[in-house]
Amino acid sequence: MTKTQIIPCPNCGDRAIRKIVDNSIKRTSCESCDYLLVQCLKTGKVIEAYAPGINSYCVIDPVSA
Protein backbone atom coordinates (compact mmCIF):
# COMPACT_ATOMS: atom_id res chain seq x y z
CA MET A 1 0.00 0.00 0.00
CA THR A 2 1.34 3.39 -0.93
CA LYS A 3 0.29 6.65 0.66
CA THR A 4 1.07 9.84 -1.20
CA GLN A 5 1.35 13.25 0.41
CA ILE A 6 2.32 16.66 -0.90
CA ILE A 7 4.76 18.39 1.40
CA PRO A 8 6.93 21.49 1.13
CA CYS A 9 10.33 20.52 -0.23
CA PRO A 10 12.97 20.67 2.51
CA ASN A 11 15.45 21.87 -0.07
CA CYS A 12 13.68 24.48 -2.20
CA GLY A 13 10.29 24.96 -0.52
CA ASP A 14 8.36 23.98 -3.60
CA ARG A 15 5.89 21.12 -3.59
CA ALA A 16 7.50 17.74 -3.08
CA ILE A 17 5.85 14.34 -3.19
CA ARG A 18 6.20 12.03 -0.23
CA LYS A 19 5.29 8.42 -0.69
CA ILE A 20 5.06 5.97 2.15
CA VAL A 21 5.30 2.41 0.90
CA ASP A 22 3.99 -0.42 3.07
CA ASN A 23 4.50 1.73 6.17
CA SER A 24 8.19 0.95 5.95
CA ILE A 25 9.77 3.10 3.28
CA LYS A 26 9.40 6.86 3.05
CA ARG A 27 10.35 8.37 -0.28
CA THR A 28 10.40 12.14 -0.68
CA SER A 29 11.09 13.61 -4.09
CA CYS A 30 10.88 17.06 -5.60
CA GLU A 31 10.69 17.65 -9.32
CA SER A 32 11.59 21.30 -8.99
CA CYS A 33 15.05 20.75 -7.60
CA ASP A 34 15.72 17.01 -7.89
CA TYR A 35 15.71 16.52 -4.13
CA LEU A 36 15.41 12.88 -3.16
CA LEU A 37 15.29 11.17 0.19
CA VAL A 38 14.54 7.52 0.75
CA GLN A 39 14.31 6.51 4.37
CA CYS A 40 13.40 3.34 6.21
CA LEU A 41 10.70 4.13 8.78
CA LYS A 42 11.43 1.07 10.88
CA THR A 43 15.08 1.80 11.46
CA GLY A 44 15.12 5.51 10.66
CA LYS A 45 18.02 4.85 8.36
CA VAL A 46 18.48 6.91 5.23
CA ILE A 47 18.73 4.52 2.32
CA GLU A 48 19.38 7.03 -0.41
CA ALA A 49 19.55 10.79 -0.53
CA TYR A 50 20.22 13.38 -3.16
CA ALA A 51 19.95 17.12 -3.32
CA PRO A 52 21.35 19.62 -5.81
CA GLY A 53 24.78 20.72 -4.74
CA ILE A 54 25.30 17.57 -2.74
CA ASN A 55 26.83 14.54 -4.35
CA SER A 56 24.47 11.62 -4.62
CA TYR A 57 25.34 9.04 -2.08
CA CYS A 58 24.21 5.74 -0.77
CA VAL A 59 24.70 5.05 2.91
CA ILE A 60 24.27 1.31 2.69
CA ASP A 61 27.65 -0.25 3.36
CA PRO A 62 28.14 -2.84 0.64
CA VAL A 63 30.13 -4.98 3.05
CA SER A 64 27.54 -5.17 5.84
CA ALA A 65 24.49 -5.04 3.56
Residues that bind Zn ion (CB under 5 A): 9, 11-12, 14, 30, 32-33, 35
36-40, strands of its sheet edge to edge? 2-8, 15-21, 25-29, 36-40, 46-51, 54-58
9 vs 37 by CB, closer to Zn ion? 9
Give least dist CB 27 to Zn ion, A. Answer: 14
13 vs 60 by CB, closer to Zn ion? 13
β-bridge mates for residue 37, sequence order: 28, 49
Side chain identity, residue 32: S
25 vs 29 by CB, closer to Zn ion? 29
